[in-house]
Amino acid sequence: MKNDTLVSFEGVVKRFGDFVAVKRMDFEIGKGEFLALMGSSGCGKTTTLRMLAGLEAPSEGMIRLSGKPINDLPTWSRDTPMVWQSLALFPFLNVVENVEFALKMRGVGKAERRRRAEQWLDRMQISEFAGRNISQLSGGQRQRVALARSLVVEPEILLLDEPLSALDAALKVRMQSVLKNLQRETGITFVYVTHSQSEAFSMADRVVIMSRGQIEQIGTPQEIYRTPRTRFVADFLGSSNIFTGKVTASDDGGVVLDTASGPLRLKSDERHVVTPGQTATLTVLDTRTNLAVTKPDGPVNAIPVRMIGEEFIGATATIYLETGTGQEIRVQKSHEELAGIPLEIGQELFAWWAHTDGHLVTED
């Protein structure tokens, strides 16, 4: 184990009867890291978090915390507090008493636990609500109380299970900033479960994408966004146009794929991983896909398309297009980049991108 590793999963499997919720899992979480576990419902991310918290026991394998096995360690002995989706605040205690609770359970004296609780309420900018009942707080205020209650014990690691899911969109964005700043300031390791790409990618140092109980890819948000490792990851993120076909060439000139949309070329060192006759997938980000009225010249892939829809969000627009074979292609650009292009339903255009802007996926 590396010196900067706080948690390691070594061949961890979790079964519920005949159902395998988490397949063999091997990965590490660094000290002071913000790690997000992301995937759709039922992918195994919450089960993974619960095993780390001690709420579920692995069926196989070993979980280590600071190098020590914790499989058989009870929850209350792990120092792995969790912020729940429901927050699980005590309605019979006021705000400051909620924050004091974990300290009280650890035998901290009354004066000291009040001092530390008030310190964290001040840090979370909710000191004025110290004497209020939980029922009198807004969703965002309750969220801050739950964070203060978990962090007041100054743990090495904090587990968070979709803590922002009940908040409205604007408040979610504000709380994302609060969480990321807290993690940076304290240096506490955060392990954060979410199904939201925007949450994971805006806060996490690394993201683990899971599907059907297994890890599909681990990497920084930038790595995963730009270079998805599997077709599943590319589909799950929804930020790329995806083309699958047979490799017809793989040489110094690059890779050529014969797809339903015609031959597509990729100029990249990734050509070394495929051979002619092999099935492969090319992905290109919708932000790197362009539009033109006439077919552009040069080292580009250009596909004739027909516009079928558009969506405007702030300063950007997403244009929905369809190829002759019925495949949907998306182009996401600023309004300035789309200026001069006729954007009407039914308009015939060319979707194009440079040969160097594609990414090759060979693992599924």
Coil/strand/helix, residue 317 = strand
In Å, what is the CA distance from 41 to each residue of 128, 196, 209, 349?
38, 11, 12, 38
What is the reported pTM? Answer: 0.88
Question: Residues 61-107: pLDDT tens digits?
Answer: 999 999 999 999 998 888 898 888 777 888 899 999 999 998 998 88
Chosen CATH of 5-226 out of 3.40.50.300, 3.40.430.10, 3.20.20.70, 3.40.720.10: 3.40.50.300
Question: Residues 283-333: pLDDT tens digits?
Answer: 999 999 999 999 999 999 999 999 999 999 888 999 999 999 999 999 999
Q: Which two tokens stand for residue 177?
A: 């900033």
Of the two residues 211 and 167, the one the predictor is more confident about is 211
Of the two residues 22 and 254, the one the predictor is more confident about is 22
Which of these, 283, 238, 287, 296, lies nearest to 257 by C-alpha position? 283
Fold classification of 231-361 is: OB fold (Dihydrolipoamide Acetyltransferase, E2P) (2.40.50)
CB count in 10 Å sphere of residue 312: 9
pLDDT at 129 over 70: yes
Report the alpha-carbon distance of residue 19 to residue 213 in Å, rounded.
Answer: 10
pLDDT at 109 over 90: yes
Question: Residues 10-68: pLDDT tens digits?
Answer: 999 999 999 999 999 999 999 999 999 999 889 999 999 999 999 999 999 999 999 99
pLDDT classification of 165: cutoffs 50, 70, 90: confident
Report the alpha-carbon distance of residue 182 to residue 202 in Å, rounded.
Answer: 14
Coil/strand/helix, residue 237 = helix
Q: Which pLDDT score is estimated for 2?
A: 60
Rounded to an integer, the average pLDDT of 192-196 is 92
Average pLDDT, the chain: 92
Report the alpha-carbon distance of residue 154 to residue 147 in Å, rounded.
Answer: 11
Q: Which pLDDT score is estimated for 140?
A: 85
Q: Are 275 and 284 in contact (CB under 8 A)?
A: no
pLDDT at 166 over 60: yes
CATH 3.40.50.300 in the chain, residues?
Answer: 5-226
pLDDT at 156 over 70: yes
CATH 2.40.50.100 in the chain, residues?
Answer: 231-361
Write the burial class of residue 351 (CB in 10 Å: 0-12 exposed, 13-18 middle, 19+ buried).
buried
CB count in 10 Å sphere of residue 104: 13
Question: Residues 197-247: pLDDT tens digits?
Answer: 999 999 999 999 999 999 999 999 999 999 999 999 999 999 999 999 999
